[in-house]
């Protein structure tokens, strides 16, 4: 039985969603450690927490929330090719 392109797309979306969920959860662990760590240890983790873990967690959360809108926006632009977007 041959698989259609739609079935493959659904599987890849599901896998992508799972990856983003795990990235989001893994990035939350150091943030929780930063919040609940002793006060004298906070400066050691501050830079990584502020500039690595929080932005990655926020971006993965936004992608899980509104990623379908971004994908739709890019798919319309690439599909339009010579349409209204090409004249802009």
pLDDT reported for residue 12: 85
Is residue 60 within 8 Å of residue 27, measured between CB atoms?
A: yes
pLDDT reported for residue 7: 61
pLDDT reported for residue 45: 87
pLDDT reported for residue 74: 84
Position with higher pLDDT, 9 vs 18: 18
- Residue-wise pLDDT for 12-63, tens only, equals 888 989 999 999 999 999 999 999 989 888 898 899 999 999 999 999 999 9
d(CA 22, CA 29): 11
pLDDT reported for residue 76: 77
Q: What angle do CA 53, 19, 6 make, to 5 degrees?
A: 145
């Amino acid at each position: 039985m041959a698989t259609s392109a739609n079935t493959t797309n659904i599987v890849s979306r599901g896998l992508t969603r799972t990856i983003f969920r795990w990235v989001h959860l893994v990035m939350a662990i150091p943030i929780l450690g930063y919040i609940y760590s002793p006060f004298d240890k906070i400066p050691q983790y501050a830079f990584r927490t502020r500039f690595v873990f929080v932005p990655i967690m926020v971006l993965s959360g936004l992608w899980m929330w509104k990623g379908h809108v971004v994908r739709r926006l890019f798919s319309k632009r690439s599909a339009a090719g010579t349409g209204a977007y090409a004249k802009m």
